[in-house]
A = this chain, B = another copy of it.
């Protein structure tokens, strides 16, 4: 009911903010300007997004759960590395992701230290969700440390692929870059 309107407003703020950041640079745009452009009060912007950076990042937890659910659904005989790759691919294939808007957001995201940092925090959140699932698939000693290493490495691949995809002007698809990045590493048996 009301949740629909809420999501719509949220998406609108995010869209306007990314456009402004793309044009003028992240730290040359104030929350007040974003609010004025959307037509709401600055206070409301902060109600939808706890921090200015979050207007670009979006909701990390939601997508993280998505990836985790994909991962637990993979067949247990599949090697971890391939299962992780498949889970990220499923995320990229999700509909409702505007191609051009996503690329612009990634470009803005890479342009400012504060944003890159907040984005990497998202990865830590994902890592906490994925590590237990990965640990279950491992044998041998020190499963926790190994699982965390593998998960963080996979997240690094994900990030590298998306960054490269946003910079290179559509030279290659995000999935292709993701596969290649994953191909550069291999967990030890």
Closest CB pairs A-B (n = 7): A117-B117, A152-B156, A120-B120, A146-B184, A153-B153, A149-B184, A117-B121
Q: Please indicate the chain B residues that have their CB under 8 angstroms from the CB of A145 in the complex.
A: 160, 164, 177, 180-181, 184
Q: Are B188 and A186 in contact (CB under 8 A)?
A: yes
Q: Please indicate the chain B residues that have their CB under 8 angstroms from the CB of A164 in the complex.
A: 145
User: How many copies of the shown chain assemble into the complex?
Assistant: 2
**Chain A residues within CB distance 8 Å of chain B:** 113, 116-118, 120-121, 123-124, 142, 145-146, 148-150, 152-153, 155-157, 159-160, 164, 177, 180-181, 183-188
Chain A interface main SS type: helix
Given contacts A117-B117, A152-B156, A153-B153, 16 further A-B contacts (CB under 8 A): A113-B121, A116-B121, A117-B118, A117-B121, A142-B180, A145-B180, A145-B184, A146-B181, A148-B160, A149-B156, A149-B160, A150-B185, A152-B153, A152-B157, A152-B159, A155-B156
